[in-house]
Structures are given as C-alpha cells and as structure tokens.
Amino acid sequence: MLVDVIELAILGLLRESELHGYELKKRLREIMGPLSSVSFGSLYPALQRLESGGQVKAVEAADVAPTFPSTGSFAGEAAAFRAATRRVMRGTRNRKVYGITEQGEARLAELIADPSDDERTFPLKLAFCRWCEPEVRLGLLQRRRAQLVERLSEGRRNMRSREERLDRYVRSLMEHDSESTERDIAWLDRLIEEEKTS
C-alpha cells in the first residue's frame, strides 16, 4: 500500500477542524511549504475520491472554523464577530465544507502507521502523529532515524570513494548535506527521548 501524500494531508487537516477546499489549500501550503503544495487540480478530485470512499463528508456551512487574521488584539472577539458575519452576510452556500468521518480517522491512523515513509510523507506524519498511538509514534521516529543514519553513511561512503576527484563545490555540497543529516538525527534523538520519558 503506497501512502498518498494528498490523502494524508487532507485527512490530517480535517482531523483538526472542518474546512472547505480553498481553505484546505492554504493550510496545505502552510504545512507543506510553497513548493510541493498541491494544486486545485489535484485537491478537488482528491476530496471527491475521499467523499465517495466515505472518509470525509460534506457538513453544514455553519460548522466551519473560520479563518481569522492574526490582528493580535481581541482575537477571540474578532473571531466570533467574523464567524457571525460570515454566516449571515457572506455566501457560504457556494462553499463545500468537509469533515472527517470515523472511517477517515481510521484511515488516517493507518496511513501514519504505514512503515513506508519518505521525505515527503514523514513531515506530514509527524505533524499529525498526535492522532496515533504512542508506540506508533515512536516507531515512526525510529524508522526515520534509521533512514537518516543509512543516508549519512552512504553519503560519506560516496565522498570517500571520490575524494580526490571532488572539486570544491561538490565537496562543500556533500559536507553540508552530511552535517544537515547529522543534525536531523540529533533532532530525532531529542524527540525520541521526549517520547520515551512521557
């Protein structure tokens, strides 16, 4: 079973709050970065797939968690005001708001637990891992650590075997990559440690 990035991202975001497609797109961009964020052309069909599969369902527009800009002051009041105005003044009828179903929650847990993770899925899984069992979470972190250790040693091996033929730019690139990987491993070690003590 291959983990679909879009599916994982949508289910993870809907697990936190109900959202409509357009808003979903913005959140997707926030957590996945400007690059690798999905386009409408794949988001809407993905939502339709998930809906027909029973993982998400359309809900009442009034249930939406609205987007309120971070004005800083009176956040609560501003939010309430905007939520109210939207319901009355703004056409929510043309927005299709989705919520996750029980089946969707089960699917999300399954996706996070799936052992095949890579550069794209790992950050998403980690971002949503509060929705899974502690041991699944620990497994995720440890698997990722093992991958990075492997990557680090492969990188170093490559560097040693080409040593004298490396120009300064390639060398700098490879060294920087190794250092980054080392720091990623140290970061994971901290997370794993925290996970174990709680």
Residues of this chain that interact with DNA (CB under 7 A) are 4-6, 20-23, 36, 38-42, 44-45, 47-48, 67, 85-86, 89-91, 93-97
State which of residues 76, 94, 119, 197 lies at the interface with a second copy (CB under 8 A).
119
> How far apart are CB 111 and a second copy at their closest, in Å?
16
132 vs 170: CA distance, rounded Å? 41
For the chain, what is the HEC assignment?
CCCCHHHHHHHHHHHHCCEEHHHHHHHHHHHHCCCCCCCHHHHHHHHHHHHHCCCEEEECHHHCCCCCCCCCCCHHHHHHHHHHHHHHHCCCCCCCEEEECHHHHHHHHHHHHCCCCCCCHHHHHHHHHHHCCHHHHHHHHHHHHHHHHHHHHHHHHHHHHHHHHCCHHHHHHHHHHHHHHHHHHHHHHHHHHHHHHC
Nearer to a second copy, 60 or 179 (CB): 179
Residue 57 binding target from DNA, a second copy, none, CB below 5 to 8 Å by type: none
Structure tokens at 37: 């964020």
105 vs 55: CA distance, rounded Å? 7
- Rule CB under 8 A: is residue 185 a binding residue for a second copy? no
Nearer to a second copy, 94 or 161 (CB): 161
- Rule CB under 8 A: is residue 163 a binding residue for a second copy? yes
State which of residues 180, 182, 189, 196 lies at the interface with a second copy (CB under 8 A).
180
Residue 196 binding target from a second copy, DNA, none, CB below 5 to 8 Å by type: none
Structure tokens at 124: 């998403």
Nearer to a second copy, 123 or 139 (CB): 123
- Rule CB under 8 A: is residue 153 a binding residue for a second copy? no
Residue 42 binding target from DNA, a second copy, none, CB below 5 to 8 Å by type: DNA
Q: Footprint of a second copy on this chain (CB under 8 A)?
A: 30-31, 33-35, 69-70, 118-119, 123, 126-127, 129-130, 151, 154, 158, 160-163, 167-170, 172-173, 176, 179-180, 183-184, 187, 191
